[in-house]
Amino acid sequence: MYTEKEVAATIDHAVLKPDQTEQDLRANAAMCIERGVASMCVRPCDIKLAAELLNDSPVMVSCVLSFPHGADTTAVKAFQAEQAIKDGAQEIDMVMNVGQFLSGNYDAVRADIEAVVDVAHRAGVIVKVIQESCYLTLEQVAKACELACEAGADFVKTSTGFGPSSATPEIIAVMLETVGDRMKVKASGGIRDWATAVAYLEQGVARLGIGATATVLDGGRSAADY
């Protein structure tokens, strides 16, 4: 049985929608501090303000990179990582280049992740690799996990929350079976109630990506799409 505090401590609270404002960021930061989440995950343009708002709190600043399609060049991704860290990011959630992966260009995908990992790890920043696994078969999920592991990433993550579907227990099972002894797993997207959140934690994930954090922690069910 998980307590509210225990679940909150696993949540990367997402503030990633295109129409969210600076006022929204401030309100969400206050909520994150009050509820004791692991991190607030923000867009790159919001990192500096998020770092200011969360300063002197235990809540980390996490950010997305090459979101939501993973289609930036490797050089751009490495620069984005450098800038994010300079602005105050403590964790980076990068999107795998889905198109390159589906093309079978595995060396390029691995090198893409490695470039971000190299920048981040020099600064003590962890890297989560978002597969956007709704586009992958379960066999491909396993392959993507292996590539992320070979590239030195710290986490594999299911989804951006902006694709056609989100995390599923089946996808999480494959991730855990493939790299669970070497990496951590983050379930993200579609976690809109307490039961779903707890079920993923019981399955073995280390982090949850949630947009409706307060609703989930209060035992409600969010009608939002993230």
Please give the share of the chain, as a percent, with pLDDT higher than 70: 98
Residue 151 counted as domain residue: yes
Task: Work out the pLDDT band at 226, boundaries 50, 70, 90.
Answer: low
Give a yes or no: residue 10 inside a domain.
Answer: yes
Structural domain contains residue 223:
no
CA distance 30 to 42: 14
Q: Looking at the domain assignment, is residue 226 inside a domain?
A: no
Q: Which range, of 54-58, 62-66, 220-224, averages the lowest pLDDT?
A: 220-224
The answer to whether residue 222 is domain-embedded is: no
How would residue 225 be classed by pLDDT, with cut points 50, 70 and 90? low
pLDDT of 223 reads 66
Supply the range of the domain harboring residue 38: 4-217
Q: List the catalytic residue out of 46, 72, 93, 154.
A: 93
| pLDDT value, residue 214 | 97
pLDDT digits 0-9 by tens, 182-207: 999 999 999 999 999 999 999 999 99
Exactly one of 77, 128, 143, 157 is catalytic; name it. Answer: 157
Average pLDDT over residues 118-144: 98
What mean pLDDT do residues 50-54 have?
A: 98
**Angle, helix 194-203 to helix 169-179, in steps of 10 degrees:** 20
Bond into 58 cis (ω within 30)? no
Considering the candidates 77, 128, 143, 186, report the single residue annotated as catalytic.
Answer: 186
pLDDT of residue 164: 84
93 labelled catalytic: yes
Q: Is residue 12 part of a domain?
A: yes
> Considering the entire predicted model, what is its pTM?
0.96
Number of structural domains, the chain? Answer: 1
What's the pLDDT band for 220 if we cut at 50, 70, 90?
Answer: confident
Q: Any catalytic annotation for residue 186?
A: yes
Q: Return the pLDDT at 30.
A: 98
Q: What is the CATH number of the domain that holds 92?
A: 3.20.20.70
Q: Is residue 225 part of a domain?
A: no
Q: What is the pLDDT of residues 93-102, one digit of tens each?
A: 999 999 999 9
pLDDT average, residue stretch 65-69: 96
Separation CA 138–CA 174 (nearest Å): 7
Euclidean distance between CA atoms 90 and 106, whole angstroms: 27
pLDDT of 218 above 60 = yes
Q: Is the pLDDT of residue 170 over 90?
A: yes
Mean pLDDT of 43-52: 98
225 against 155, higher pLDDT:
155
Residue 167 lies in a domain: yes
Half-sphere CA count of 5, side-chain side, radius 13 A: 0
